[in-house]
Structure formats: structure tokens, C-alpha cells
Structure 1
Amino acid sequence: MSRAQRADLARQAQAIRRACVDQGMGAGQVAAAILQLLPDILPLEAWRWARGWSRPQALAAFLALYEAEGRPTPPVTTAMLCRWEHGTVAMSRDYEHMLCRLYGMSPNQLRPGAATASAPAETPRHPRSVTRRDGAVTVNGGSYDGEGINSMRRRTVLAAGLSIPLAALQRVDDALAVPPRSDSAELAQAAARLRAARRQFDRSELADLVAALPGLLASATAAAEQADTPAGWALVSATYRLATDTLSKVGSKPSARITADRAVLYAARSGDPVAAAASDRTLGMMLRSEGRPATAAAVMSRGIDNLEATGLSTTAQAALYLRLLSARAYTYAWAGDRARALEGIGEAERAAARIPAMQPTAAPFARLYRVDIHYALGDAGTALYAARGLRDDMYRTPERRGRLHTDLARAWWQWGKPEETAAELLAAYGHAPAEVTDRPSIRTIAAELVKQHPRVAGVRQLSKAISPRTAVTV
């Protein structure tokens, strides 16, 4: 796992802890929530985060236990604690015993994959949900089943009061389980609805688009079933791809994975190589978000190979080829494979230069991916250097312009520059407010910036922008 991925997990864990503490949960319940929502984390690190300690703070408290007992101070360092937390080095029985005392946990709770029940001194609380008028739900406490597993509904950490009502997301889930019937069976009408929905995505009108997804998917499927043509099934695949992009952006990852799988199936039924490759890109991105970069890269490579077989004779084929090359390079970066990531983005930039019909948009597209790749590799300085010369007018839609600034904000935040981070988030908000308020990863940065640096220039304005949705919920 790369440094950037670990930093991102740490930020998410901090947000989970704040949400749980605000609801009156103890450290055991906080650790359980972190382990459930962040399955890549091992218990020892989750319990440290549940206490709100940095590694140096945890180490100081650990050594103080020995001093309090009059025992010699052991030669433990933060580097050793880090290796224990990541499971790369085993610890002695004595160290394990003292760490359990330190965190108030049992030895069983220290085992990877063990039940994450509350510490003995804590009483598990039953959940109590409060639904507001806008449909946002705050979950108080967490219940535990007979196996000691936290039974809070697994959700990505979202900011309370997002403009995406929970009821709208639930309607999408219901529609995926039991697809609604549509009165519309005209392929042209379904295609028009898809174009309108794409414009909503480009304008970053995410709440309206989520609300429209059930009907959009139903009409496209009904039209394709009636026409039963390759074009019809390609249309359904494109509709599911748009659903995936939308649901993934707002943090509804399980539903996005379902729509990505269906996009691949319908693309195969269409026989259209562009639809198949585009769906491979969408599925690959979901696999990457699940922590499966090798499989993600393999799926994207399949799409690249199939596109190359077409000869890249059309602008659509060449443009999609560029997108797949860029996405695969980014996947390599998140896997920590610097060599293949940089080689891959170089190949994408060369492909961009060969697409005259897309100029001047192709080169800025690839350049922004280079920024993201260096960010994923944990090299914020190089990422920001790669971004020099990128301007708003190089990107056609509000969503892309907002994405430019949120990507830069991530790099500044990784580099520890709060003022520059605030400036980029405000710029993103100016182009596409939902890119800041409705993307969980970006909203987490904004919330932490407001909390940690309230006096930095621009932070007060940013706080006002997100103030109706300040609390974080699980």
C-alpha cells in the first residue's frame, strides 16, 4: 500500500472517530466502526486511531506503562510500532500484553479478522436513527450481533446533510434489486434521456442525477429489449456506466460495483468494441477502489487490447484509448508500482498527441492524470510541478474544472499547505459545488481543514460553503 493510500485511510479513520465520539461511543465501538468501514486496516492501528493518538503519543504511553511498573524501558521505536500495526513483524507476548493494557482491549481483539466487539467496560448501544427533512440520516451508536460484529449498516463515511438524500440512494438500490418497469420503449427517447443525464453529470448536478437514475435505467432497458439491436444494448451499457460514475463519485461504492458489472454484461451483448472497452474502464476503476489493483489493471488492459485491434480509426476509439491508458497508469500508481505508472502515463501523453480531433483537450486530460499519479505515489511536490500551466479554460465542463481544483487541493493537502488547499477547494466549489460537498474524500479534506486551520485565509469562507453539512455521520 502506498504512502498516499495510507494517508487517505488515516484521514478517513479520523473522520469516523469524530463521528463516533460525537455520538457518545467509546474506544471499542470506535475501533469496531473503523475496522468495518476500512477493512484494509489491522486491529492494532484501528485501536490507536480509536484513541485519537499519533504513533509517537502511543509509544510514549506504552513506555510509560513500563516505567510505572518499575520495569526497564524496552527498546521500542515508532518504526517498530508501525511494523506491528501493518503486520510485517510479529511482537512478543509481553509487548502484546502491554499493548492490550494500553488500549483497553483483549488479546483476541488484536487478531486480524477477529470479532470487533466493544471493550469489556463498554456497553454496546442500539442504533437510533434520526431522519431530517432533507433525507439525511444520522446513526447514533452501533449494535453488535451474537458474534460480536458491529451491525451498523456498512456505508462509506459521508458528511451529514449531503445534498444527496439517503432516500434517493435507497431508491437506486431498490431499482437495482427489482428494476422498475418503464412505459417508454422508444430507443430515441431513451438516448435523449441519457444525453440529458450526461449534461447533469457534466454540470455536477449530482443530487438531481441520482434521483433520475432509476427511471433512466428502466427506460434504457425497456427500449433495448424492444429494439433488440446492438445499438440498443450499447445504450443500456452506457447508461449503467454513467450510473457507476455517479454513484462512485458520491461514495455509494457497493451500488456502483453492481452497475459496473451490468455495464460490462450489456456491452458484451451489444458486440460494440467501444462499449466493451468503456465498460472495462468503468469496472477497472471500481476494482481499484476495492483495493484490487492487479485485477483492475488486467481488466483495463483487456479493454486496451480490444481497442488496439480496431485500429483506432475513429475519434471515439482513440479518445477512449487515451482514457484507458491514463486510468491504468493511475491504477499502477495506487499499487505503488512507480515504474509502470510513469511509463503508462507517458504512453497516454504520446497517444494524446496523436488525437488531433480532440485537441486541445486531450493533452490537458493526460496531464491532470500525471498530477494524480504523482499524488498517488505520495509525491505532492512533483504532482504540483506537473500541474503548472493547467488552466480552467482547458476543461470544457464545470465537473472537469471542479475536478482540476480538487485534484490540486489533494496534492496541497498532502504537502501540508492549508492555505493553498483552501484556495483550490474554493475554486472547485465555484465551478461545481458538489465536487466539494458530495465527494466523501474531498469533503473529508474540507472538514479537516476547517477544524484544524480555522484562521487560515479562505478557511472561513470554505466553512460557510459547507456549514449546512458540517457533522460527519457513519
Structure 2
Amino acid sequence: MTQALTFRDIRTVFHLLRQYAGASQTQIAIACGMTQGKVSETMKKGGRQVTTLEVFERIADGLHMPDIARMTLGLAPLNLNTPPTTANAKVITPRDDPAGLVPDAFLGSLDVDPDVEEGNPVRRRTFTKLAGASLFSAILADLPADGAPLEGVEAFAAALAGHPGIITDPGPTALSVRRLDQAVAAAKRNYQDSQYSTVIKSLPHLLADLRTACATYEGDTRLHAEALSAEAHHVAASILLKLDEEGLASVAADRSMQAARNSQDLTIIGSSARIITHALMNDGHHGAAIKTASTYAERIDHDIDERTPEFLSVYGALLLRGAVAAGHRTDRDTAATLLDEAQAAGRELGGDYNHRWTAFGPTNVQLHRVNIALQLGDAGAAIQEARRIDLDRISLTERKATLLIDTSRALTQWGKHNKAYDVVRFAHQIAPEEISARPAVHRVLHDLMATAPLSTKRQLRVFTTEIGVHL
């Protein structure tokens, strides 16, 4: 670790954290104010290198580096009055630090390894000992203890695997159907408000409670618990897809469908088919995604007894998901057919609603027309569709932010870089986590940065630095 810090080799620092502290990429990202995608890129061999002082400071602060580690990294100590010294002090001379990476206060704390090869431009140094017992204690004190609670994506993985640290034995209050109902509704609401960090924090334990409830209850109560489990796993899969965790998202989507079938509720089955379609599409299986959406839409349309608002909403939303998959496959005819069928369902529904948490209605069909035009490479058509949408009619933050991101993508493709930048800034104002936390949006920003004129590049770089996204 000392060697990695000396050479500002953050890739090795992160690998050591994973190897010896058990820290996941998501945990490192949260601690350091980075995205999981940026941590992943940094950890790849030959990947992105950290070079800016501001990022080094953020990493040091986030990992609670002791002062001797901060100074080895070339940063000022937090406690300026007590520079570390030890009886075994090793010394780095200015000759060994021509770049001036090590502050003067630290010169004298490490001595030169006798095996240094003079003239080697990399200045290879092998440190045979840590700089004293105080450093050893400080490093060990910062490591998580055995049995530390899992967080972020790792908590989802544990919950989906039935990890004993997540699966608890809650009391009757925690397993009450009313409480579970409220908790699932809160998770759905927070997701639609783009409050992803809130969902990530609470949902794994809710999944565990629902698993216990489904195994505990009988009769109609169990059917209701299974329906809630299907909805909660749907949210989990949606969050994991936002984070580019396709593997875990597929597991969560499958669990959603299993629970939906156990609930014996056709609308719940149709809703879970939506997330199955989404997971298949994100994994590149566009043909299978189209088939899944079409088949389940036909099934629930055939088997349902009454075309209730809930049914129409799930049915229409499922058709839209299939249309998006067709757009990704460049299947214009299928995309157009499914969009028209969804539009007919929206007209039958009679307005924009959020039945079964679908956000379905005529306006949502318009939003999907923008996205699909973009997937088909028709940036001009996407912008024309976007112009027809009244933003004030979109009540859900997540849907509104998605439209703005799609519009920014279309404007970038159309060469309207200043407008694309303005739109993405507006999206950040209404849904900060949609911009700062999603790798897919970071790719949109990267594309804008790559093609924009110099004046827009400068603005974009300042903006992304402000929100903690490093392109």
C-alpha cells in the first residue's frame, strides 16, 4: 500500500482494498464520491488513471486515510501540528522525489531502500517495513470488522442469494402485511422520484422480510405477500439495471416473475413480464425481449375478465417495453405496431395515470416514441416528438428525467451541443441521482464531451466536476 500511495497508483490502492478489506467497487465508489463505473475503469489494467489533486483528496478523505498515508500520497496531513515520526524513520531525499509529490513535512519519515536502481525513470522502491507500529494500527483500525453490514449492490446480491446476514427473523410487526404494503409502496415511490440511494439502502432488507412473509403466511395473505414480493423484486431489478448490474438484475427479474406466478394475479404477472423484457433487452437479447413482451401481452389480454384501468396500464406498459426492444433491434415495423397498440390502450384508459406503478397513459406513449426514434437513429424525428410533449404533464421525476436525457442524446446527434448541455443540466436540477449515479448517463455525457466545441467542453467539464462525475 505504501508503494502504491507513493507512486499515486490508485488502481493498486483499490485492488488492495478489495483484496484485504473485502470492499466492493460499489462500496469504494460510495466512500470516494465516485461512480461504480469510474472505479471499475480505474481498476482495469491500462484503464483510467487518477491525476487530479481534487480526486486524490476525495479518495483520501473517503477512505479515512491516516496522515502518514495522506502524505505518502502527496497530500497535506489533516493534523499539521504533529507530523509523524518514528524511531525506525526512513528518509526520502529530494533526489528521490524530483516531481515533488511528497511534501516537505514527510521528508524524513522514510529512508531509501538499498535496492533502488539509480537512474531508473520509474524509481522502483521496495519498502520492506511499514513506517512504525502507529501506521500499522491506524491501517488496521480503518478496516471493517468481520460481519460488517453489506451495503449497496453487495446487499442486493446477498438478499437475492438468501445470505444469512440479510435474511433475519423479524417479528410480527415487521411481517405485517400492512407494513410490507407500505414499504413496497415507499420503494416504488422513491424509485419514481429518482431517489435511488434511498431505495438501495432499504430495499435489500425488505426483500428479505418479504421472503420470510411468503414462507410464513397461508391462503389469501400469502398470495398478497407474493404479489408484494413480485413488485419489490421488480424495483430491485430496475435499480440494478440503472447501475449496469445486468447479471443481478436478471436474477431479481426472475424472482419477480416467480413471485408473480405464485400470486396468481394476471396483472402482477404482466407487470413482472415488463422487467423480464427489460432485463433481456439490456443484456442484448432483443428478439427474446420482443417475444416475451408480445406473448405476455397477448396472454393477459386473452385471460383477463375485465379491462380495468390496472389491466390497461400494465398491458400498455408491456407493449411499450416490447416496442423499445424492437427499436434496439432496428425492427421498425414491430416497433411501430406495438407503439400503435399501446397508444390505443392509452386512449381507452383515458388519461395519464400511475396504476400499478406503470406511469402509463398517452403521454408515456409519446415519451417512448422519442426513445425509439433515437434508437432507430432518427435524431430529428426524436426531437420533433419531444416538441409535442408538455413537460408539465409528466408528474413522475424518473420519467421526466428520462425524456430530458433522451432529448439531450438526440440534440448531441443532431449537432446542437449547447442545447444538449442545457437540457442535461436541467435534468440534473430535477433528478440529481439520475445524472450522477447512472453509468448510462455518464456515457451520454462522454459522447457530448467528445463531439462538442471547445466552449461547451469547458462548461461541461466544470459541470461534471461539480457533480462528481469524471469523464
Q: TM-score, length-normalised on structure 2?
A: 0.65
Counterpart of 1:174 in structure 2 is: 158
Q: Give the share of equivalent positions with the same residue, in percent.
A: 22
Aligned pairs (5 A) from 1:427-466: 427-450=426-449, 453=452, 455-456=454-455, 460=459, 463-466=462-465
* C-alpha distance in structure 2 between counterparts of 1:432 and 1:192, whole Å: 24
Aligned residue runs from structure 1 range 342-361, under 5 A: 342-356=336-350, 358=352
Distance 1:271 1:353, change over 3 A: same
Question: What one-letter code is carried by the residue in structure 2 that aligns with 1:351?
Answer: A
Structure 2 counterpart of 1:271, one-letter code: Q
Structure 1 residue 239 corresponds to structure 2 residue 232: yes
Q: Does 1:341 align with 2:335?
A: yes
Q: CA RMSD for the aligned pairs?
A: 3.2
Q: Which residue of the partner structure matches residue 128 of structure 1?
A: 15
Alignment partners' CA distance in 2, 1:167 and 1:265? 25
Once the two structures are superposed, residues 57-90 of structure 1 have per-residue CA deviations (whole angstroms, 9 ceiling, x without a partner) of xxxxxxxxxxxxxxxxxxxxxxxxxxxxxxxxxx
CA distance in 2, matches of 1:189, 1:366: 33
Deviations 1:34-74 (A, max 9, x none): xxxxxxxxxxxxxxxxxxxxxxxxxxxxxxxxxxxxxxxxx
Which position in structure 2 is the counterpart of 1:366?
365
Alignment-derived partner of residue 315 in structure 2: 321
Structure 1 residue 289 and structure 2 residue 282: aligned? yes
Partner of 2:123: none
Match of 1:253 among 230, 243, 246: 246
* Aligned residue in 2 for 1:390: 389
Q: How many angstroms does 1:226 deviate by? A: 2.1
Q: Does 1:279 align with 2:272?
A: yes
Q: Work out the CA distance in 2 between the residues paired with 1:141 and 1:241.
A: 31
Counting only pairs closer than 5 Å after superposition, residues 202-221 of structure 1 correspond to structure 2 as 202-221=192-211
Cα deviation 1:392-415 (Å, max 9, x = unaligned): 211112222111211111211222
* Structure 1 unmatched ranges of 5 or more: 1-21, 26-124, 144-149, 151-158
Partner of 2:107: none
Shift of 1:380: 0.7
Please list the CA deviations of residues 359-407 of structure 1 after superposition, one character each: whole Å capped at 9, or x if unmatched.
Answer: 6961110011111111111111111112222122111122221112111
Deviation at residue 223 of structure 1 after TM alignment: 2.2
Check conservation: 1:450, 1:460, Cα contact below 8 A.
Answer: no
Aligned-partner Cα distance in 1 for 2:461–2:423: 10
* Residue identity matched to 2:155: R
**What is the CA distance between 1:239 and its match in structure 2?**
0.6
**1:100-144, CA deviations, whole angstroms, 9 ceiling, x for partnerless residues?**
xxxxxxxxxxxxxxxxxxxxxxxxx9983564734757355557x
**2:325, 2:309 → 1: CA distance?**
24
Amino acid at match of 2:188: R
Contact 1:422 1:458 in 2 (8 A): no
Instruction: Supply the distance in 2 between the matched residues of 1:276 and 1:423 (Cα, whole angstroms).
Output: 40
* Offset of residue 225 of structure 1: 2.3
Amino acid at match of 1:387: A
**Corresponding position of 2:401:** 402
| 383 and 172 in structure 1: CA distance in 2 versus 1, 3 angstrom threshold | same
Q: Return the alpha-carbon distance in structure 1 between the equivalents of residues 10 and 178 of structure 2.
A: 54
Residue 453 of structure 1 and its aligned partner are, at CA, apart by: 3.4
1:376 aligns with 2:375: yes
Cα pair 2:464 2:470 within 8 Å, conserved: no
- The one of the two structures with greater contact order (alpha-carbon pairs below 8 A, sep at least 6) is 1
- Which of residues 319, 323, 326 in structure 2 aligns to 1:332? 326
8 Å CA contact retained: 1:361, 1:394: no
Distance 2:458 2:368 in 1: 27
Q: Could you tell me how far 1:306 is from its partner in structure 2?
A: 2.2
8 Å CA contact 2:159–2:167 kept in 1: the answer is: no
Task: Provide structure 2 residue ranges, at least 5 long, that are not aligned to the other structure.
Answer: 1-7, 18-27, 47-54, 64-149, 354-358
Paired residues of 2:352 and 2:364 also in contact (CA < 8 A): no
TM-score by length of 1: 0.64
Contact 2:418 2:456 in 1 (8 A): yes
In structure 2, C-alpha distance between the alignment counterparts of 1:395 and 1:190, rounded to whole Å: 28
Cα distance 1:378–1:274, how it changes in 2: closer, same or farther (>3 A)?
same
Identify the residue that residue 413 of structure 1 maps to in structure 2. Answer: 412
1:289 and 1:208 mapped to 2: Cα distance? 24
Counterpart-to-counterpart distance in 2, 1:430 and 1:198:
21
Q: Greater CA radius of gyration, 1 or 2?
A: 2
Query: Contact between 1:260 and 1:286, CA under 8 Å: does it hold in 2?
Result: yes
- Alpha-carbon distance change, 134 to 394 in structure 1, aligned in 2, over 3 angstroms: same
CA distance in 1, matches of 2:306, 2:455: 49
Q: CA deviation at 1:181?
A: 2.5
Structure 1 pair 452/384, CA: closer, same or farther in 2 (3 Å)?
A: closer
Residue 302 (1) aligns with residue 295 (2): yes
